[in-house]
């Protein structure tokens, strides 16, 4: 090969190398453009502080909380057979939210008193209020067991409640609403009120929520089996929440 041919060969190799580099650079720019074009939509997070109505095995934190709704449920205790049938899963999924934490405990009360005059302080809503993650939206769904257990209503006491005070409902709901609004500033908090509760329980919840600026959502005509939402009832709750929160 003469000198001219060797020079031409070197030039061709250089051009081919440059073409490869330019092709790779162009591909990189396409990937960067595609990445820039794809943006991840922020989905607000939801936490739940609840009782049996909001439980489902495998989705509750702490996992040691007692459940009402179980995976692989059988029999006629409930017709809810899957987590996707629960009110909170439906509400979160259908409205573009994501679950932060569900701290629900079957049989739990707002107050420290439970069934048969038992001490329910370990499972009380007040005791669990600090363990809800960092949500954008907080749904509180309680007082059903206070109503069913005939917990004494007591008198409103907005400050300085003692442990003994918290065995009655009005001091307990006042303490809960103060604690939750202080613990979760700038979080959208809603209190869900079950249907068919004692009137004095409903009035007490609404009074405490008004004082602390927390909206209440009163459920209506919820279908139930053994006092707990059925599949139909779960759908009704999810729909009523959507109407109240997402309108």
Instruction: Report whether 54 contacts 102 (CB < 8 A).
Output: yes
Q: Is the pLDDT of residue 27 over 80?
A: no
Q: At 9, give phi and psi (nearest 5°).
A: -65, -45
Q: Rounded CA gap, 12 and 5, in Å? A: 11
What pLDDT, in 10s, does the model give residues 143-162?
999 999 999 999 999 999 99
Q: How confident is the model at residue 247 (pLDDT cuts 50, 70, 90)?
A: confident
Residue predicted with more confidence, 247 or 159: 159
What pLDDT, in 10s, does the model give residues 211-229?
999 999 999 999 999 999 9
**What percent of the chain is predicted at pLDDT more than 90?**
81
- In sequence order, what are the beta bridge partners of 139? 48, 190
127: Cβ contacts below 8 Å, ≥ 6 apart = 121
pTM over 0.75: yes
Q: What is the CA radius of gyration of the chain?
A: 28
| Overall average pLDDT of the 126-141 stretch | 98
What pLDDT, in 10s, does the model give residues 68-116?
999 988 888 999 999 999 999 999 999 999 999 999 999 999 999 999 9
């Amino acid at each position: 090969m003469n000198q001219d041919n060797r020079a031409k060969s070197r030039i061709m190799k250089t051009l081919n190398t440059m073409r490869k580099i330019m092709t790779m650079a162009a591909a990189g720019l396409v990937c960067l453009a595609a990445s820039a074009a794809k943006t991840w939509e922020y989905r607000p997070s939801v936490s739940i502080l609840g009782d049996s109505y909001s439980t489902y095995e495998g989705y509750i934190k702490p996992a040691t909380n007692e459940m009402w709704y179980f995976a692989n449920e059988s029999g006629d205790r409930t017709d809810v057979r899957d987590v996707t049938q629960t009110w909170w899963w439906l509400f979160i999924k259908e409205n573009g939210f994501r679950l932060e934490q569900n701290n629900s405990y079957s049989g739990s009360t707002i107050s420290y008193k439970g069934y048969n005059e038992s001490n329910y302080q370990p499972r009380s809503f007040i005791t669990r209020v600090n363990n809800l993650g960092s949500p954008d939206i907080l749904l509180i769904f309680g007082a059903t067991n206070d109503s069913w257990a005939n917990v004494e209503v007591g008198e409103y006491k907005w400050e300085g409640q003692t442990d003994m005070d918290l065995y009655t409902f009005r001091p307990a709901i006042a303490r809960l609403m103060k604690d939750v609004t202080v613990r979760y500033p700038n979080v959208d908090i809603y209190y869900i009120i079950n249907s068919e509760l004692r009137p004095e329980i409903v009035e007490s919840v609404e009074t405490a929520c008004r004082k602390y600026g927390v909206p209440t959502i009163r459920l209506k005509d919820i279908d139930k089996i053994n006092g707990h939402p059925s599949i139909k009832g779960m759908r009704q709750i999810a729909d009523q929440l959507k109407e109240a929160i997402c309108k």
